[in-house]
Structure 1
Amino acid sequence: MIRNYFKIAFRNLKKQPFFTFLNIFGLTIGMAGSLLIALYIYDELNYDTMFPDADRIHRINLDIKFGGDISNFAEVSSPVAEVLENDVPQIELVTRFRNRGNMLIKKSETAVNVKEQDVSYTDPSFFDMFGIDLLYGDKTSALSEPNTLVLTRTAAEKHFKIEDAVGQNLILNNGDTYVVTGVIEDLPKNSLLRNHSVFLAMAGNQEEQENNWGSNNFPTFIKLLPTANIQDVQTALDGFFKKYFIPFAQPYMPGMTEEQFLASGNYYNFSTIKLQDIHLHSNRFPEMSPNGSIQNIYILSFIGLFLIILASVNFMNLSTAHSLKRAKEVGIRKTLGSGKSALVSQFLAESGVITFIALLVAIAVAALALPFFNVLADKTMEIPYGNPLFWLVLVICTLVLGLLSGIYPAFFMSRFIPVKVLKGSANNSHKGGGIRSSLVVFQFAISVFLIISTLVVFQQLQYIQNKDVGYAKDQVLVVQDVGTLGSQQQAFKQQVKQLASVKQASLSSYLPIPSYRRDRSFYEEGAISQENALQMQSWDVDVDYLSTLDLELVAGRDFNKKYGSDSLSIIINEAAVKVLGITAEEALSKRFTYDLGEENPRFFKVIGVVKDFHFETLRNDIAALSMHIGGYANDLAVKINGGDYATTVASIENIWKTTAHGQSFNHYFMEDSFNNTYNTEQRLGRIFITFTILSIFIACLGLFGLAAFSAEKRAKEIGVRKVLGASVGQITYKLSVDFLKLVGISIVIALPLAWYAMNRWLEDFEYSITIGWSVFVLAVVLALFVSILTISFQSIKAAIVNPIKSLRTE
């Protein structure tokens, strides 16, 4: 019997090739799109799961409110690790990192450096913490001594054969010599360590030796004992502030107590987060690698689900609409003794055949599209053909989809009354029109929802790219690694400034997005207490900084090399003035220090107030900022006049080559760096557009099929109307208007839902667009345009048919 079901199913599918094609094609597109989204979500959800005992690894976080500033750190102070080891018996291992960012590395006998992007100090427990084995070297001693390092395979191969790496010397930043003590495999691309290639021994980091609870620069991870509970660790962490931070702070602020600190509205709270949760659930400063967002996963999950639902709805709509052609078949089967269950089984078999054919085609389509989707999503995903679980899930999902898609048409057709359908009154033997109308409304409501969402994402990205961020990011070239020039830094800067195409240049390691960051607690002269602290960014700049980035002063003056006193002057931003609760003019000449505990603290006089500018992303509010002369500079920002940028860059590179003697010339444009900061949003926007187009296509495919069926069903009516004098336009309108009413209802349903959902998404940005009426108008116009285009094709085609052809059978 089952064999007969499938035999008849194939026969019926061959008899109706057009509707079979529409069903398979719609299901294929929906399934292929959902498969790609599922691979993306699977990749995102599996970040950091490859490490042994990953479920027992947690990172320590720190939230501080102090000096008018709120900071959410992914790092803590160095002594926290030792205290955790000594005070919390539930912890098996503790590992710290101290990120150093980019470094230049070369062999002692080589002139040219190789730049490594992510270099970090780490503890020897790093290998056991993350279950990492060395390809070469001994992990028990690899990072136990100062001036030793471990390389990844790729980093090692840049300098020598990896089997010869251990024991070799490397020079870092043209200064210290390090010994290679190990080589590890490249770290997984879906882990927070994916960009790290060089690990230095923590024992060589001077900051690690300091018992400084006020400097939070160490990402710190713990591994619990198998029987331990993270709540036990949290209980211990809750006591660290009173037990350790208060005694550390009291020499600098005598009389400070926990009660006094909390009474000022401040807090200092430790917390933990699972290693596996960091990628999607952490948005702190600074993360070891760029993170994703669980919200984006939810959004993409809904889109993937929508695609499947749209394809399934298409199948149900087309099957029920086409059921009239099979009404007599059902009547004869019932007359000859077929029961309802047998008919349901027959139609479900047909549904299953279509769904499994669509699955095979969808896998092929997904395989072809995956390389392009990887580029779109910045991934390296592969379809896991060799994983039995993948095939099991796929088959189960296909069975469920086939069942859900076919169950309603199967029961719908099995309810036909033999007497009525055999007498030719099948049109009145069911009430499927209302169901089909509801499904069309549902389809287009989803499509309109996605159209609006895409438009909002696109407008927010445009807003970010075009917003006045308060500094000149256009035509600013940043030359990196100028710190390697040593005493030649100023000479290099002056030679660059002499180029006719260069307007201005400035040396600093502190630049807007991305940039080095340093927070300090400032205290006004005569009011040194924790209640009066002002937490500010503290940036080292030179006298040309403001003019290079076109920063606008709202009060006071710029730095000037004519004034020697400017070495003890600062310029603050409007956000700092707001925290002080005074005007910009009142802030001038006030003196602040951060040298607490020093016998002769330095006081910096405020000489200017700069207009607020976005030195962080638009997801964050503008924080208090101070700038002063001096300090280490590793970047040269060059303001270029309009013209031939390539020639100017080449000229600067020539100056670099004569000054840096063999060092590689690394540079970027600030505008490109700014745009790259929003790569996550840009990728989301491109993915939105891609799958919105797919959803609209699937919805139109169903509408196209229904319009074709409606035109076929009403062929004689159309013939009669034409004979009686109806024009092509009148007939087209008559055939289209019912469908357009359904599209209109779907628009009314989708608009408020899309408005609510996208407003929630925009809440993640401190600075965002307001969703205006133009977004909804454009979405409505697009939805109506594609639906009219879809319907009118079939309507016009039916309207221009010679009435003789449709009436001659009567």
Structure 2
Amino acid sequence: MLKNYFIIAWRSLLRNKIYTVINITGLAVGLCCCLLITLYIREELSYDQYHEHAPNIYRVLQSFRSPEKGARLQAPAPGEYQVWGCAPVGPALREYYPEVQHVTQFTSPNTMLLERGDRRFQENNITFADSATFDIFSWKLLEGNPALALKELNGIVLTKSLARKYFGEEAALGQMLRVDNNFQVIVTGVMEDIPANSHFSFDAFISMNTFRKFRPEIFGWWGYVDFYTYFRLPENARIKKMEARTSDFAARNVPDGENGWYAMTFEPLSDAYLYSKAGRQPGVTGSLSNVYIFASVAVFILLIACINFMNLSTARSMERAKEVGVRKTVGALRRSLVYQFLTESVILSFISAFVAVVLALIALPLVQELSAKTLGGPAAVKMVLPWVLFAASVIGLLAGSYPALVLSGFRPAAVLKGKFKASTSGVLLRKGLVVVQFSLSIALMAGTAVVLSQLDHMRSSDLGFEKDQMLVIDYGGDADVNKKIEAIKDALGRHPAVKAASASRAVPGTFFPNAHTEVENPSGEMQAGGPSLYEIDFDFVPTYGIEMAAGRAYSRNFQVDSTQTMLLNEAAAKLYGYANPADIIGRKFSQWGREGVVVGVVKDFHYQSLHRKVEPLALRLAPNESLNNITVKIEGGNYEKTIAELQAIWKTVAPQRPFLYTFLDQSFGQQYKADVQFTSIFGIFAGLTIFIACLGLFGLATYATEQRVKEIGIRKVLGASVAGIAGMLSSDFLKLVVVSMLIAIPASWWAMSRWLETFPYRVSLSWWMFALAAVLALIIALVTVSFKAIRAAMISPISSLRSE
């Protein structure tokens, strides 16, 4: 019997080729999309899980605040903590908490010039790290001893990629590299490349003892911020009990720590990528809301594909009523008929699953490129294959259950006498399913319009500074360049295409420090704060076209500007109690050993992406040794020629340093890379959702048209026009789409309003975004249905009325 079921099922599929293709295509595309989204979500949830001790690894979050005199601060909110903290917390943590097994600290990434023979490259992702690093994290050392690799003074551990860059295939262990033309390091280890699903990534570790040799004083400063602290606990440790003692820890270890200016808490490694709300992260972070959105899209797509599958299955089932009547007359049991229809449905579903896997393997490279993630490659597809087959089985059984149970229950006498007709409940079910799938499709189209508008808003908003035609030369703070920085700027500025040049430690969109800064508040008291810090030269403000809100910019005409003045932005003025920026001019300040008065307030400009509000910023006239970049403002025109000539000038003034440049608008735009990736993937899946919905609508329109062939012929004989008949056939489906619009628009408006709340600078929801989605859905549905309707209306009445 089983063989017979398969034979009959196969014949049925071949006999109805159009519906078979529609069913397989729709379900296969739906399963493929769901599979790819599953791989994406799986990748997002896998960050840092490869570490052997991942469940027992935590990191320290720290908060630095400024209480009023005599006041005691409450515990900070989650968003007030930051991952970037101070050095003394590491040793103090190990001493105060006996349950802590290992503690390690990293510095923020450094830019260094590494040199071996004729191989010389500027590396931007080198950090100093403690010797306990390999006791906590499961990075495999390919060369060297993990217990000793980061203990040695001037020792460096390279990733495999960086080792090959300098040493090729020869062993790197024990080899020497020169750093910044200043000192040498010895390779004490070569480790595997840090996996892509890590919340931070470095190309090399230099032993922390090396850093301690250069700057020993900062390892005792509780207010100096430049370290990330991680620790490992035994399996039975209770992190909640440790967190309950953090206030006592601060009171015992931090100077004046009992007033709450310093606070800390602990965050599991598993929360670092997707769940952390802390600021100043050491690397990329994911978006939990995006994960939820993609999961919803996957459910929507699969639901729409299943609806198509069930709709066509139930619609076509009525044609088999006579077959059921005959088979029941000759003795077929209801049970065997149920098995027959379920077998057909499951076979169709399994064929769709096979096609879906093939499509996923073909589409995987494109999705990986768009998402900038590996997604596990073909091996990951193979890993989730059992789930695909399970889903196909469930879909096949559910889709086949309705026709199997309904048809198997027909009375043979009624069917064979021609007294049987399709039930009203079946028609209502199909209409309801069409409404559901088009409601989801319209919601996704509206969501795509909102997402695109928000991305365009962030990328096109006025940032408060000039970013176009700004060439940024990164020389890594080279000491020789800094010694003659003004001469180099003059040499570059003499080029006819150069309008202006300035030097700074950071440029918008790049890494910057914070600085403990005291400013005289309106009450006349010195109020402490920790604004972001830009160290700049005299030409920075005019070169970047930053406008003044009050006071003046730095000027060479004022000798005191070099050591006794400071600029703030409007947000910083408000931080210190001045709603009117002009009121802070002339107020005293103290910052990093420098004292003087505030001489100007710049208008707030977006030195970070629009994902964050403009935060308080101090702009300090930098000593030359603190500078890292030269920004050259150039005229439009032949960029390649201008850059080549500037490179030639650079080789004459700084031959020891490679000419590394970026355009500011491009580098600043990299902050929106994840948004662009999200938008692209979301748009593609939304488009595929519409495709699947239209495929199902086309199938139902085809079926409905075939059922009314004789009616169409009679109407044409009586004088009906092609347009009139096409309108009649299309109207029923278009009414369903209109109902879908009424359901989808308010639901998507609410959902996208919630999504936009995560952005501090967001686009306003406009009616046209939802109207556009509704109109597009209506047009697509009209074209889909009308195509079949017009073809049916153009058939000669002779053909449609001929009796078989």
Secondary structure (helix, strand or coil) at the match of 2:618 reads: strand
Of the three residues 718, 730, 734, the one matched with 1:736 is 730
Kindly report which structure 2 residues correspond to 1:278-297, keeping only aligned pairs within 5 A, or say none: 278-297=272-291
Matched, 1:508 2:504: yes
Question: Paired residue for 1:756?
Answer: 750
Question: Paired residue for 2:187?
Answer: 180
Counting matched residue pairs gives 786
Deviations 1:137-182 (A, max 9, x none): 1222111122111001111111114653122221222222111111
Secondary structure (helix, strand or coil) at the match of 2:398 reads: helix
1:465 and 1:554 mapped to 2: Cα distance? 24
Secondary structure (helix, strand or coil) at the match of 2:785 reads: helix
Instruction: Judge conservation of contact 2:311–2:430 (CA < 8 Å) in 1.
Output: yes
Deviations 1:186-211 (A, max 9, x none): 12111124x31110101122356622
Question: Paired residue for 1:264?
Answer: none
1:392 and 1:482 mapped to 2: Cα distance? 51
Secondary structure (helix, strand or coil) at the match of 1:769 reads: coil
1:66 and 1:807 mapped to 2: Cα distance? 89
Of the three residues 209, 223, 226, the one matched with 1:203 is 209
Structure 1, unpaired ranges of 5+ = 249-256, 262-266, 596-600
Question: Paired residue for 2:578?
Answer: 581
Matched, 1:405 2:381: no
Matched, 1:166 2:167: no
Displacement of 1:289 after TM fit? 1.9
Question: Paired residue for 1:609?
Answer: 601
User: Could you tell me the TM-score, scaled by structure 1's length?
Assistant: 0.93
Question: Paired residue for 1:437?
Answer: 431
Displacement of 1:80 after TM fit? 1.2
Displacement of 1:71 after TM fit? 4.0
Instruction: Judge conservation of contact 2:113–2:122 (CA < 8 Å) in 1.
Output: yes
1:550 and 1:51 mapped to 2: Cα distance? 47
User: Could you tell me the TM-score, scaled by structure 2's length?
Assistant: 0.94
2:190 and 2:204 mapped to 1: Cα distance? 10
Secondary structure (helix, strand or coil) at the match of 1:280 reads: coil
User: CA, structure 1 residues 621+160, in 2 after alignment: closer, same or farther (shift >3 Å)?
Assistant: same
Matched, 1:638 2:632: yes
Matched to 1:336, the amino acid is V
Matched, 1:44 2:51: no
Displacement of 1:500 after TM fit? 1.3
Deviations 1:607-637 (A, max 9, x none): 1111111112212111111212123111011
Matched to 1:588, the amino acid is I
Secondary structure (helix, strand or coil) at the match of 1:473 reads: coil
Of the three residues 461, 486, 490, the one matched with 1:490 is 486
Instruction: Judge conservation of contact 1:10–1:350 (CA < 8 Å) in 2.
Output: yes
Matched to 2:560, the amino acid is S
Question: Paired residue for 2:18?
Answer: 18
Kindly report which structure 2 residues correspond to 1:280-359, keeping only aligned pairs within 5 A, or say none: 280-359=274-353
Displacement of 1:132 after TM fit? 2.7
Displacement of 1:486 after TM fit? 3.5
Of the three residues 115, 123, 126, the one matched with 2:130 is 123
Matched, 1:367 2:361: yes
Displacement of 1:291 after TM fit? 1.5
Secondary structure (helix, strand or coil) at the match of 2:506 reads: coil
Question: Paired residue for 1:7?
Answer: 7
Displacement of 1:372 after TM fit? 1.1
Matched, 1:244 2:253: yes
RMSD over aligned Cα atoms: 2.1
User: CA, structure 1 residues 328+552, in 2 after alignment: closer, same or farther (shift >3 Å)?
Assistant: same
1:393 and 1:285 mapped to 2: Cα distance? 38
Question: Paired residue for 2:687?
Answer: 693
Instruction: Judge conservation of contact 1:88–1:236 (CA < 8 Å) in 2.
Output: no
Secondary structure (helix, strand or coil) at the match of 1:448 reads: helix
Secondary structure (helix, strand or coil) at the match of 1:219 reads: strand
Instruction: Judge conservation of contact 1:320–1:413 (CA < 8 Å) in 2.
Output: no
1:386 and 1:526 mapped to 2: Cα distance? 61
Structure 2, unpaired ranges of 5+ = 69-75
Kindly report which structure 2 residues correspond to 1:636-715, keeping only aligned pairs within 5 A, or say none: 636-715=630-709
Identity of aligned residues (%): 37
1:79 and 1:340 mapped to 2: Cα distance? 78
Question: Paired residue for 1:593?
Answer: 590
2:403 and 2:559 mapped to 1: Cα distance? 87
Instruction: Judge conservation of contact 1:237–1:270 (CA < 8 Å) in 2.
Output: yes
Displacement of 1:119 after TM fit? 0.9
1:400 and 1:268 mapped to 2: Cα distance? 55
Between stretches 226-235 and 715-724, larger displacement belongs to 226-235
Between stretches 135-144 and 65-74, larger displacement belongs to 65-74
2:263 and 2:335 mapped to 1: Cα distance? 64
Question: Paired residue for 1:153?
Answer: 160
Question: Paired residue for 1:551?
Answer: 546
Deviations 1:532-582 (A, max 9, x none): 323322321111101111000122112111211111111111112223234
Displacement of 1:283 after TM fit? 4.5
Displacement of 1:722 after TM fit? 0.8
1:721 and 1:650 mapped to 2: Cα distance? 76
Of the three residues 545, 568, 573, the one matched with 1:572 is 568
Instruction: Judge conservation of contact 1:420–1:429 (CA < 8 Å) in 2.
Output: no
Secondary structure (helix, strand or coil) at the match of 1:661 reads: coil
Question: Paired residue for 1:797?
Answer: 791
Matched to 1:536, the amino acid is P
Displacement of 1:727 after TM fit? 0.6
Between stretches 33-42 and 426-435, larger displacement belongs to 426-435
2:114 and 2:445 mapped to 1: Cα distance? 49
1:440 and 1:728 mapped to 2: Cα distance? 26
User: CA, structure 1 residues 350+232, in 2 after alignment: closer, same or farther (shift >3 Å)?
Assistant: same
User: CA, structure 1 residues 618+771, in 2 after alignment: closer, same or farther (shift >3 Å)?
Assistant: same
User: CA, structure 1 residues 89+405, in 2 after alignment: closer, same or farther (shift >3 Å)?
Assistant: farther
Matched to 1:615, the amino acid is Y
Q: Runs in 1 of length 4+ with deviation above 6 angstroms?
A: 67-70, 525-530
Secondary structure (helix, strand or coil) at the match of 1:499 reads: coil
